[in-house]
Amino acid sequence: MTKDGVQGVAEEADQAQSKKGLKKQQKEAEKAAKKAEKQAKLTTDQQSTDDDDIAKDRYGVAPMVQSSERLDRVLVRVQELTPEKADQLIWVRARIHTSRAKGKQCFLVLRQQQFNVQALVAVGERASKQMVKFAANITKESIVDVEGVVRKVEQKIESCTQQDVELHVDRIFVISQAEPRLPLQLEDCVRPEGEGDEDGRATVNQDTRLDNRVIDLRTTTSQAIFRLQSGVCQLFRDTLINKGFVEIQTPKIISAASEGGANVFTVSYFKTSAYLAQSPQLYKQMCICADFDKVFCVGPVFRAEDSNTHRHLTEFVGLDIELAFNYHYHEVIESITDTMVQIFKGLRDKFQTEIQTVGKQFPSEPFKFLEPTLRLEFMEGVAMLREAGVEMGDEEDLSTPNEKLLGRLVKEKYDTDFYVLDKYPLAVRPFYTMPDPNDNKYSNSYDMFMRGEEILSGAQRIHDAQLLTERAMHHNIDLEKIKAYIDSFRFGAPPHGGGGIGLERVCMLYLGLHNVRQTSMFPRDPKRLTP
């Protein structure tokens, strides 16, 4: 019922917001309409007054593309504008990134995703004064079709990604016009933190960015981040498929909380209520019991944690692995760590451009790792912390600051940003964790860390129904509630283990960013449900 209340409030807020938004939108629309009218008038005026415009067919606002005709025109990618293309006449579709008029010339920077090129409109044989004026007045972020000749430049253009060429514009048509007032400037969005303070130039704060995510996502940094994120997913899938894993899909609406009772979202489900899955673990395990042997899944995971930190989201993408092993759960650790190493290597080798681009705005040390991955034991970690002056008990879980400190100590000694901490105390792990056979104070469980932050928590799961019942009772868990889970193991289950990582967190830590919202396209946290 609380959920209904929450929804009600949310709706109200939503409505209030949307009312305001509607008004605003209306006003803006009116404004835009007036503007367009004015502009149209202006152009017609101009046309009527400037009958002698030699280039009047070479520029203008193109009619809206409504698929009325299909031009046989090749559009070249900005990325492909290199000296090899010199002196060729080509078409490009790009956004106006910046424009700067200077007498009879107008310099445009045309942007396409992460790449941009300088374009020049100059009064001459093929362009009139009016055309230059028109080009200079195209609003930033408008999409244009440009025909021009690629010319090599003598001096490198430092401000553009295509440094060796520029485009001498013959024709320019606006395909989609942007409103003249942008809610935020792209240059401000990519300015490295701290740099703006000195010259009094603006940087954009996180919330403004997220409120205007569509524009923020156009920045070179965002383009690079999400291309890299797509790479992580791709590498994750490729590596596991190569290892003989099967990709599975698991339900997200479930009847009982999978990991304990807390932190679940309740949703109304016809006459009763259901929960949003906190992890696909139960289903992964059921697939193992159903003889799929090695499975993985990529999908949303929900956590109703009211924590507003740099690394918590209420919805994120989980990359989950579960596999049966033969004799020792280290087979599982090796499989997971190798997957991670393959991802890191793939990123290092295939996404250097993206890493560099992000590094321009958010400088960080390149991500370092070892192959095979370093595995330390929890006891060793505790000893290292104690040596560094931290006081803690043998069976105490690591606090976040201690995790970070340990990460620094490990980095100092082994120079790796990724490692596994094995053999956690049994007391700090969930009931389904397999106890250590030699010392029942410890367990067959592990955490993996990137730059000192935990990214994966996993374990050998108990695959014996009786032991599972005992452990559940020891944890005072209502057996009725987890009956279905325990029953899965009654008809023979192979020994197995697994774990899951958060896509956003892995991207954030790989790139050395400081907020998980930067690597979530449309982040969800306790205070944000839009856009």
Partner 1 sequence: MSMYQVKPIVGGDIKIELPTCMYKLPNVHVPESASGCPEKTLKNRGTEVDPVIRALEVRQDDIMRRLYELKAAVDGLAKTVTTPDADLDQTVTSLSESPTATAFRGTSDLDSLLGKDLGALRDIVINANPAQPPLTLLVLHAMLCQRYRMLSNIHVHSSVSEVPARLLSCLGVNHADSYVRQRFQLGFTLIWKDVPKLQMKFSIQNMCPIEGESNVARFLFRLLAPYPSDPALATLVDSLVDTAFFQLAEDRPGHLHSS
Instruction: Indicate which residues carry an active-site annotation.
Output: 303, 305, 311-312, 454, 457, 505
Phi/psi class of residue 207: alpha, beta or left (left: φ > 0; alpha: ψ in -120 to 50)?
A: alpha
Backbone angles phi, psi at 318, to 5 degrees: -95, 135
Interface size with partner 1, residues (CB under 8 A): 32
| Token output for 272 | 């009763």
- Count of CB atoms within 10 A of residue 367's CB? 18
Q: What amino acid is encoded at 78 in this protein?
A: V
Out of 187, 238, 293, 377, the residue judged to bind partner 1 by CB under 8 A: 377
92 CB-near residues (< 8 Å, 6+ apart): 75, 76, 78, 81, 110, 112, 117, 145, 146, 147, 148, 167
* 106 to 8, 99, 116, 130, 180: CA distances (angstroms): 54, 7, 16, 11, 18
Closest to partner 1 by CB, 149 vs 370, is 370
- Distance of alpha carbon 349 from alpha carbon 343, whole angstroms: 10
Is position 370 an interface residue for partner 1 (rule: CB under 8 A)?
yes
Out of 383, 473, 479, 529, the residue judged to bind partner 1 by CB under 8 A: 383
Closest to partner 1 by CB, 253 vs 427, is 427
Q: Judged by CB under 8 A, which stretch of 215-223, 277-285, 381-389, 446-454 contacts partner 1? A: 381-389
Sequential DSSP letters for 61-123: EPPP--SS-----PBPPGGG--GGGTT-EEEEEEEEEEEEEETTEEEEEEEETTEEEEEEEES
Closest to partner 1 by CB, 256 vs 384, is 384
- Distance of alpha carbon 500 from alpha carbon 262, whole angstroms: 19
What is the footprint of partner 1 within residues 437-496 (CB under 8 A)? 438
Is position 367 an interface residue for partner 1 (rule: CB under 8 A)?
yes
* 473 to 200, 282, 479: CA distances (angstroms): 62, 19, 7
Q: In this structure, are residues 520 and 313 in contact, taking their beta carbons and an 8 Å threshold?
A: yes
- Count of CB atoms within 10 A of residue 375's CB? 17
What is the footprint of partner 1 within residues 346-365 (CB under 8 A)? 348
Out of 332, 376, 420, 501, the residue judged to bind partner 1 by CB under 8 A: 376
Q: Judged by CB under 8 A, which stretch of 182-190, 225-233, 385-393, 448-456 contacts partner 1? A: 385-393
Closest to partner 1 by CB, 209 vs 451, is 451
Is position 514 an interface residue for partner 1 (rule: CB under 8 A)?
no
Closest to partner 1 by CB, 95 vs 423, is 423
Q: To the nearest whole angstrom, how small is the minimum distance from the Cβ of residue 406 to partner 1? A: 11
Q: Judged by CB under 8 A, which stretch of 32-40, 65-73, 384-392, 479-487 contacts partner 1? A: 384-392
- Distance of alpha carbon 419 from alpha carbon 497, whole angstroms: 18
Backbone angles phi, psi at 208, to 5 degrees: -60, -40
Is position 384 an interface residue for partner 1 (rule: CB under 8 A)?
yes
Q: In this structure, are residues 417 and 473 in contact, taking their beta carbons and an 8 Å threshold?
A: no
Question: Looking at the DSSP assignment, which residues form a beta bridge with residue 458?
Answer: 446, 499
Q: To the nearest whole angstrom, how small is the minimum distance from the Cβ of residue 388 to partner 1? A: 6
- Distance of alpha carbon 170 from alpha carbon 124, whole angstroms: 10
Q: To the nearest whole angstrom, how small is the minimum distance from the Cβ of residue 393 to partner 1? A: 13
- Distance of alpha carbon 175 from alpha carbon 198, whole angstroms: 38
Q: To the nearest whole angstrom, how small is the minimum distance from the Cβ of residue 233 to partner 1? A: 21
Closest to partner 1 by CB, 151 vs 345, is 345
Out of 35, 227, 368, 528, the residue judged to bind partner 1 by CB under 8 A: 368
Q: To the nearest whole angstrom, how small is the minimum distance from the Cβ of residue 35 to partner 1? A: 53
Out of 54, 101, 298, 379, the residue judged to bind partner 1 by CB under 8 A: 379
Out of 310, 386, 441, 481, the residue judged to bind partner 1 by CB under 8 A: 386
Of 256, 245, 316, the closest CA to residue 521 belongs to: 316
What is the footprint of partner 1 within residues 404-433 (CB under 8 A)? 409, 412-416
Cα three-residue angle 44-50-52, rounded to 5 degrees? 135
Out of 9, 246, 388, 479, the residue judged to bind partner 1 by CB under 8 A: 388
Is position 219 an interface residue for partner 1 (rule: CB under 8 A)?
no
User: What track of x and - describes contact with partner 1 for positions 100 through 119 (by CB under 8 A)?
Assistant: --------------------
Closest to partner 1 by CB, 85 vs 368, is 368
Closest to partner 1 by CB, 178 vs 409, is 409
Residues that bind partner 1 (CB under 8 A): 328, 330, 344-345, 348, 366-372, 374-377, 379-384, 386-388, 409, 412-416, 438
